[in-house]
Amino acid sequence: MKESFFMREVYPLIGKNTVDTLQFLKARELIAPDMMCMHCKQPMAWTASRKLTDKYVWKCQNKECPKFKTTLSIRTNSPFHGFRGDFGKLLHAIYLWSCEIGQAHVI
């Protein structure tokens, strides 16, 4: 029997906030695969950040920009903007919702 997309691709990411999870989300454009600085209109860099749960931010690298080194959340302009929690758990919640599994069956 052929393994489902969920079991093959999504299930290994549940509960993990890893580079693999972020790459999965970027590849499907659930988080932006690239970002432009709102001030200088130049591409921002995907930059590691130890301070944040997401571990990465978008950062302006244009030294001539008035907002040089300004950062944006990787959740900016995504369905995850405003949600807290790691992406693995959010993926799991989306999966359960898509299967129409109610809260009473999850707990």
Under 8 Å between Cβ of 89 and 96: no
User: How do 56-60 and 44-48 pair as beta strands?
Assistant: antiparallel
> Tell me, what's the pLDDT at 100?
72
Q: What is the pLDDT of residues 50-107, one digit of tens each?
A: 888 888 999 999 999 999 999 999 999 998 898 888 888 888 777 777 777 655 554 4
> Tell me, what's the pLDDT at 71?
95
Q: Which amino acid is at 93?
A: A
Q: What is the pLDDT of residues 15-39, one digit of tens each?
A: 666 788 899 899 989 999 999 999 9
3-state helix, strand, coil in the chain (%, to 5): 30, 15, 55
Angstrom CA distances, 92 to 26, 84, 87, stand at 17, 14, 9
